């Protein structure tokens, strides 16, 4: 065969399909062609009302409590989420590996152990957890959208997967990514494109796009993504869910498929694993349970430190607002929701100070971070592509011209020198002009609203915090409103003289843009704290959320999850 | 002039000499030609009995208490240590920068502030602290033994120096290193060779050799060294003092002179700064005060975490003993003192288990760590050498042939991949065969006793813990005894088939070796804990020390400091 990837993709998709029981197929007529698919699980008739309740009326925290109280068995919880994930897959193509049979067997075992021991197996007893495809689960592929990696089942679990299993979690699905995780739109030739369940015209984001879509569909109550440029926070925004990128050395990352060569973590930017969920407490649950399992004993990169030693957001706090990265001016609704957040914080008594991206040096972060993505020249994943004659995905085909030579050591050295210098310079961002220490920073996740498919612009607002290794999370604030759509850039905001700002304006003001496509988008803010203080980040995100609720702004929050919960 | 370094060296040494007041000169007849110089401060007549008491009868902890109780003024403490450091310099050539005038002025200011505020300036109020030459102190050079770097006074302090000053410390000297800090014997062409004050025939070690000698002379009560291969632990052993290498990201390292190009910390092994002192509690003082100053707000590489969150050595503990690195068999007295330590631990109720370097993978660490020292090819410091036509120091001249090409990125990548793999493999060293977790490991600091000048063998026992980033400390146990000198390798210990073991045996059994030269050596053990648990390390070292005291072995401990303290 001239293009082996085609056959591989067909077999892989057949395998995936075959692992969904025929009785869990839904009528294609149940799936809207053009609009939100969030209602499908409720309207398609496949889920019992108890299954709807399990999957929609709970947080992970409350579901765990119900499991421990034996209100539900692990088996019925696993069944409910397997069914709902199957529905999500049929709606928005978000899964890669379907592990339902193993999940049921494990859930049964957990129920038996619970009965036998008289206590739950661990802190995540019976909780279904979905994983980005890059995590290895014994016996299953980690294809990360590359045909060459298909049908090479993992011999070992990633360390984080072992930790979750030991805590009693149930694995049942892995989720889709872009080709080699090299894009911000989850399309690849093996599994196809993951759709945004709220609106198939806009992107589901990436690279943890399958997670984002699945969680928005409530096909998962807690998912794990990875982020080296924004790959947790971007799909969290696109799908209106919560997502936290910890500092690199907090959550085990060892033993993942990356599509790159081994050793890159030592030279380039370091990717983090982190939670995605429909609410903040579930993200916290994940971070706490993993941190308190002693992950530093299992992954040499993880720093010593339990959850309680990961910082505290103080009662009297000082928050900085970074309204722009200095390279791209946010779309008017993005700026507006940030200002609403500032006002809500001030109303609730939190002092907020302005941060200037130009003065603080933040403006330089994006360009430097981008250089780190060119070290290896793409040789590894492009060779994998060639090996099955696979073509580039649409978005990548407009950006990648082919393998480049590996960066020279001299250049790499100067890059690290520049990074060290910028990291030091950026410490000043944590002080206001009076020398007071900031507790958190709020800023956009992206300079634009969730764009149409394959039009995600830059990652300047997210990759900077990977380079700086600051914990950062996406907090969904509210749906975009019809009136937001008529907002224009203010006259004082002249376009910046660079292609990023121009491209970003195109997404709002450009010819051929019908802003109505953005109507289902969730407006989010990003919350950021200093390095390795994940507990402080959760505290900060909680304070922001509370401030907005108190300020009445939370009234029109329409996070997918919350909508879904209103049965 | 054909060799500019000669003139630079002359001027630099003149400058150093000129900064020692003439009245602090001691008669050359006061200095033994051939034996221990430890008594000189007491016999030369320069120090008053009060100054002898200040410099000899205190730990840093008790001296601080005396300062706070106003038993001493900061000025008289500074004067006493300046004088004693001047004596040490005249005995063993351990200083580079002499900062006495500034030290006196600062001490006076501290006394005034204390009077004015009614409380000490900080937790280190009035404590003199010596610094390895690589630390930058505003207005002074950081020559690190390279003529090309002389007469280029620092414009800023290293971050750690700022932290120490803010805590109330008094800087008064910087201390000698090998040429470019590239050797384990502190000789360079600018300042000459630092002698071991206990015995000028054996090495003072390096690269923090000046610190080691100065502290052994009680010319410093607390010093700061750096360690990327053993450069704190080795001179600590050679001079019979305590030294701790923390994990890399614990103590600020930013803003030092390295002799290398910027950015190397991102590609190679990462050096740590750490304390050297005459007792364990003073090392703890340094680590605690620096950690609790919030250094992560000032050095982006430092991880978040106060002293109390850096681990705890448990009451019931399990200690592993690594008797050999698998490449070089320790000299018989080194093996003997390790066995004495094991027995003392057992007697005091600590369980000790054996670790096999071959099984655990430890044997591979040395070779891999060595490769990391070749990345840059020495281009930077060798260019600095060339720029003043400086020659290589004796030890380096037998090892360095000239600049090498910088390592290729492909090779560097494979090196980092190998490191990641070995780091993961080495996690198993922390479990015994029954799966129980080890709390600490004890092993030799080196496979040999303190050797003659320029004969330090390998750093396999120290560099491994830099590559693995485990905190590790040198604990002086006892002086070598005359009977130790007659010990031979046992018949069961056949030489290993490698040049390292052969070279190491030469130092003990070789022709031309008169073991009597080793008689003034201190036998030490190295104590190691898992990454980033410095508080646990101090706990472990304390337990080992206590066990030896209880076991009566401490009776013949003759740490230089303790000898000196017996006035």
What is the DSSP annotation of B490-511?
Answer: -TT-PPPSSHHHHHHHHHHHST
Give the one of B375, B413, B531 whose C-beta lies nearest to A296's C-beta. Answer: B531
* Cα–chain center distance at B556: 23
Q: Which residues contact A486 (CB under 8 A, 6 or more apart)?
A: none
What are the angstrom distances between the C-alpha of B264 and each of A64, A301, A409, B374?
47, 19, 11, 11
Q: Give the pLDDT band (50/70/90) at residue B1.
A: low
Residue A249 annotated as part of some ligand binding site: no
Q: Which residue has the tokens 């304070």?
A: A543
Cα–Cα distance for residue pair A196/B91, rounded to 1 Å = 76
Within-domain flag for B526: yes
Cα–Cα distance for residue pair A345/A352, rounded to 1 Å = 7
| B29, two tokens | 């007849």
Cα–Cα distance for residue pair A137/A142, rounded to 1 Å = 8
Distance from CA of A408 to the nearest CA of B (A): 6
The total of other beta-carbon atoms located within 10 Å of residue B481's CB is 15
Cα–Cα distance for residue pair A501/A398, rounded to 1 Å = 19
Considering only CB atoms, which chain A residues are within 8 Å of B261? 413, 417
Q: CB–CB of B420 and A297 under 8 A?
A: no
Look at chain B and count its residues.
Answer: 567
Coil, helix or strand for A394?
helix
Cα–Cα distance for residue pair A43/A47, rounded to 1 Å = 9
Which of A21-35, B263-277, B541-555 bottoms out in mean pLDDT, i.e. has the lowest? B541-555
Distance from CA of B418 to the nearest CA of A (A): 7
DSSP letters of A165-234?
A: HHTT-EEEEEE--SGGG-SSS-EETTTEEPBPTT-TTBB--SSSHHHHHHHHTTS-SEEEEEESSSTTHH
In eight-state DSSP terms, residue A108 is H
Catalytic site residue from A9, A74, A231, A324: A231
What is the helix (H) or strand (E) element at residue A441, kind and residue range? strand A440-443
Mutate to test the interface with B, among A291, A307, A409, A436 (most CBs of B within 10 A): A409
Catalytic site residue from B132, B364, B371, B536: B132
Q: CB–CB of B412 and A416 under 8 A?
A: no
Residue A352 annotated as part of some ligand binding site: no
Q: CB–CB of A300 and B530 under 8 A?
A: no
Distance between the two ends of chain B, CA-based, in angstroms? Answer: 51
Considering only CB atoms, which chain B residues are within 8 Å of A408? 409
**Cβ proximity of B552 and B472 under 8 Å:** no
Catalytic site residue from A12, A132, A136, A419: A132
Cα–Cα distance for residue pair A530/A264, rounded to 1 Å = 25
| B477, two tokens | 């146990």
Considering only CB atoms, which chain A residues are within 8 Å of B413? 261-264, 266-267, 376, 406
* Cα–chain center distance at B145: 17
Number of domains observed in the structure of chain A: 1
Q: CB–CB of A416 and B261 under 8 A?
A: no
Mutate to test the interface with A, among B409, B415, B422, B533 (most CBs of A within 10 A): B409
What are the angstrom distances between the C-alpha of B95 and each of B127, B173, B245?
18, 7, 21
DSSP letters of B180-216?
A: GG-SSS-EETTTEEPBPTT-TTBB--SSSHHHHHHHH
Coil, helix or strand for B357?
helix
B132 is catalytic: yes
Summarize pLDDT for B294-341 with one digit per residue, the tens.
999 999 999 999 999 999 999 999 999 999 999 999 999 999 999 999
Distance from CA of A263 to the nearest CA of B (A): 4
pLDDT at A557: 35
DSSP letters of A465-529?
A: HHHTT--EEEEEEEE--GGGGG----TT-PPPSSHHHHHHHHHHHSTT--GGGGTTPEEEEEEE-
Summarize pLDDT for B373-415 with one digit per residue, the tens.
999 999 999 999 999 999 999 999 999 999 999 999 999 999 9
CATH of the domain at A33: 3.90.1300.10
The residue in chain B having the minimum alpha-carbon distance to the alpha carbon of residue A248 is B303
**Cβ proximity of A393 and A191 under 8 Å:** no
User: With 90 as the cut, is the pLDDT of residue B2 above it?
Assistant: no
Q: CB–CB of A412 and B409 under 8 A?
A: yes
B9 is catalytic: no
For B294-391, strand residue ranges (E) read: 318-322, 351-355
Cα–Cα distance for residue pair A220/A88, rounded to 1 Å = 9
Give the one of B298, B414, B530 whose C-beta lies nearest to A263's C-beta. Answer: B414
What are the angstrom distances between the C-alpha of B360 and each of B27, B320, B330, B417, B497?
55, 12, 18, 19, 20
- Three-class DSSP labels, A261-295: CCCHHHHCCCCEEEEEECCHHHHHHHHHHHHCCCH
Give the one of A267, A299, A309 whose C-beta lies nearest to B416's C-beta. Answer: A267
Considering only CB atoms, which chain A residues are within 8 Å of B532? 296, 303-305
What are the angstrom distances between the C-alpha of A467 and each of A248, A250, A420, B34, B559?
10, 15, 10, 56, 46
| B138, two tokens | 């505003």
- B241: containing domain: 4-491+502-565
Which of B321, B333, B314, B547 lies closest to B439, judged by CA?
Answer: B314
Within-domain flag for B497: no
Q: CB–CB of A309 and B311 under 8 A?
A: no
Cα–Cα distance for residue pair A202/A520, rounded to 1 Å = 9
Cα–Cα distance for residue pair B290/B288, rounded to 1 Å = 6
Residue list for the binding site of B for substrate: 181, 207, 228-231
Whether the link from the prior residue into B429 is cis, omega within 30° of 0, is no
Q: Which residues contact B130 (CB under 8 A, 6 or more apart)?
A: B85, B172, B173, B174, B175, B211, B214, B215, B219, B220, B222, B223, B224
**Cβ proximity of B180 and B145 under 8 Å:** yes
| A515-544 residues touching B, CB cutoff 8 A | 530-533
**Cβ proximity of A374 and A368 under 8 Å:** no
Q: CB–CB of B410 and A406 under 8 A?
A: yes
The number of C-alpha atoms within 13 Å of A370 and in the hemisphere containing its C-beta is: 9
Within-domain flag for B383: yes
Within-domain flag for B496: no
Question: Angle at CA A452, nearest 5°, toward A447 and A456?
Answer: 40
Per residue of chain A (567 residues), give pLDDT as tens.
Answer: 589 999 999 999 999 999 999 999 999 999 998 899 999 999 999 999 999 999 999 999 999 999 999 999 999 999 999 999 999 999 999 999 999 999 999 999 999 999 999 999 999 999 999 999 999 999 999 999 999 999 999 999 999 999 999 999 999 999 999 999 999 999 999 999 999 999 999 999 999 999 999 999 999 999 999 999 999 999 999 999 999 999 999 999 999 999 999 999 899 999 999 999 999 999 999 999 999 999 999 999 999 999 999 999 999 999 999 999 999 999 999 999 999 999 999 999 999 999 999 888 999 999 999 999 999 999 999 999 999 999 999 999 999 999 999 999 999 999 999 999 999 999 999 999 999 999 999 999 999 999 999 999 889 999 999 999 999 999 999 999 999 999 999 777 788 888 899 999 999 999 999 999 999 899 999 999 999 999 999 999 999 999 999 875 443 333 433 443 333
Distance from CA of B264 to the nearest CA of A (A): 6
Q: Does B50 touch chain A (CB under 8 A)?
A: no
Residue A207 annotated as part of some ligand binding site: yes
pLDDT at B458: 80
Q: CB–CB of B303 and A406 under 8 A?
A: no
Q: CB–CB of B416 and A254 under 8 A?
A: no
Distance from CA of B304 to the nearest CA of A (A): 6
Look at chain A and count its residues.
Answer: 567
Q: CB–CB of B416 and A303 under 8 A?
A: no
| B133, two tokens | 């030459």
A207 is catalytic: yes
Coil, helix or strand for A450?
coil
Considering only CB atoms, which chain A residues are within 8 Å of B420? 254, 262-263, 265-266, 300
Q: Give the pLDDT band (50/70/90) at residue B556.
A: very low
Q: Does A166 touch chain B (CB under 8 A)?
A: no
Question: Angle at CA A128, nearest 5°, toward A175 and A95?
Answer: 15
Q: CB–CB of A530 and B437 under 8 A?
A: no
| A341-400 residues touching B, CB cutoff 8 A | 375-376
| A418-437 residues touching B, CB cutoff 8 A | 418-421, 423-424, 426-427, 430, 437
Q: CB–CB of A303 and B249 under 8 A?
A: yes
Which of B233, B162, B249, B147 lies closest to B192, judged by CA?
Answer: B147
pLDDT at B407: 97
Coil, helix or strand for A336?
helix
For A317-422, strand residue ranges (E) read: 318-322, 351-355
Catalytic site residue from B74, B231, B249, B360: B231
| B248-267 residues touching A, CB cutoff 8 A | 249, 254, 261-267
Give the one of B264, B420, B533 whose C-beta lies nearest to A265's C-beta. Answer: B420
Q: CB–CB of A376 and B413 under 8 A?
A: yes
pLDDT at B552: 52
Catalytic site residue from B9, B186, B207, B360: B207
Which of A157, A390, A403 lies closest to A260, judged by CA?
Answer: A403
Question: How many inter-chain contacts (A to B, CB under 8 Å) are there?
Answer: 148
Cα–Cα distance for residue pair A92/A217, rounded to 1 Å = 9
How does strand B242-245 pair with strand B318-322? unpaired
The total of other beta-carbon atoms located within 10 Å of residue A255's CB is 19
Q: What is the mean pLDDT of chain B?
A: 95
Cα–Cα distance for residue pair A371/A269, rounded to 1 Å = 10
């Amino acid at each position: 065969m001239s293009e082996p990837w085609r056959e591989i993709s067909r077999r892989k998709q057949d395998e995936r399909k075959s692992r969904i029981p025929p009785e869990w197929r839904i009528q294609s007529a149940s799936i809207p062609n053009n609009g939100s698919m969030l209602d499908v699980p409720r309207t398609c008739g496949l889920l019992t009302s108890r299954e709807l309740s399990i999957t929609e009326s709970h947080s992970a925290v409350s579901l765990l409590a119900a499991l421990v109280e034996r209100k539900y068995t692990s088996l019925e919880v696993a069944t409910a989420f397997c069914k709902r994930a199957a529905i999500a897959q049929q709606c928005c193509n978000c899964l890669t590996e379907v592990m339902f049979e193993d999940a049921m067997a494990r859930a049964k075992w957990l129920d038996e152990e619970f009965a036998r021991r008289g206590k739950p197996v661990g802190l995540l007893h019976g909780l279904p957890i979905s994983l980005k495809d890059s995590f290895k689960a014994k016996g299953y592929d980690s294809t990360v959208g590359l045909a060459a990696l298909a049908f090479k089942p993992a011999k070992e679990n990633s360390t984080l997967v072992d930790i979750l299993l030991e805590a009693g979690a149930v694995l049942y699905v892995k989720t889709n990514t872009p080709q080699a995780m090299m894009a911000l739109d989850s399309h690849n030739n093996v599994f196809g494109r993951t759709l945004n369940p709220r609106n198939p015209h806009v992107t589901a984001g990436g690279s943890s796009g399958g997670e984002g879509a699945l969680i928005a569909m409530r096909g998962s109550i807690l998912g794990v993504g990875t982020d080296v440029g924004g790959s947790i926070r971007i799909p969290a925004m696109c799908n209106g869910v919560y997502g936290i990128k910890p500092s690199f050395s907090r959550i085990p990352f060892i033993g993942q498929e990356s599509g790159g060569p081994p050793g890159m973590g030592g030279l380039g930017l370091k990717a983090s694993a982190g939670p995605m969920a429909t609410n903040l407490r579930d993200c916290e649950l994940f971070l706490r349970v993993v941190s308190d399992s002693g992950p530093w004993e299992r992954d040499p990169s993880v720093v010593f430190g339990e959850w309680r030693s990961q910082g505290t957001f103080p009662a009297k706090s000082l928050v900085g607002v970074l309204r722009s990265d200095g390279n791209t001016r946010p779309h008017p609704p993005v700026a507006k929701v940030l200002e609403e957040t500032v006002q809500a914080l001030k109303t609730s008594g939190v002092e907020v100070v302005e941060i200037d991206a130009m003065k603080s040096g933040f403006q330089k972060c994006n360009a430097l971070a981008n250089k780190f993505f060119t070290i290896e020249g793409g040789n590894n994943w492009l060779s994998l592509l060639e090996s099955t004659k696979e073509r580039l995905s649409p978005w990548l085909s407009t950006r990648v011209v082919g393998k480049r030579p590996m960066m020279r050591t001299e250049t790499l050295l100067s890059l690290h020198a520049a990074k060290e210098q910028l990291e030091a310079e950026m410490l000043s961002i944590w002080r206001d002009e009076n020398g007071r220490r900031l507790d958190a920073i709020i800023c956009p996740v992206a300079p634009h609203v969730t764009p149409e498919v394959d039009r995600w612009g830059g990652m300047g607002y997210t990759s900077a915090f990977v380079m700086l290794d600051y914990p950062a999370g996406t907090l969904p604030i509210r749906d975009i409103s019809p009136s937001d759509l008529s907002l224009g850039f203010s006259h004082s905001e002249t376009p910046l003289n660079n292609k990023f700002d121009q491209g970003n304006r195109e997404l709002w003001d450009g010819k051929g843009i019908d802003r109505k496509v953005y109507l289902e988008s969730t407006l989010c803010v990003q919350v950021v704290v200093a390095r390795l203080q994940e507990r402080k980040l959760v505290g900060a995100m909680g304070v922001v959320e509370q401030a907005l609720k108190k300020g009445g702004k939370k009234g029109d929050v329409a996070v997918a999850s919350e909508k879904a919960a209103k049965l």
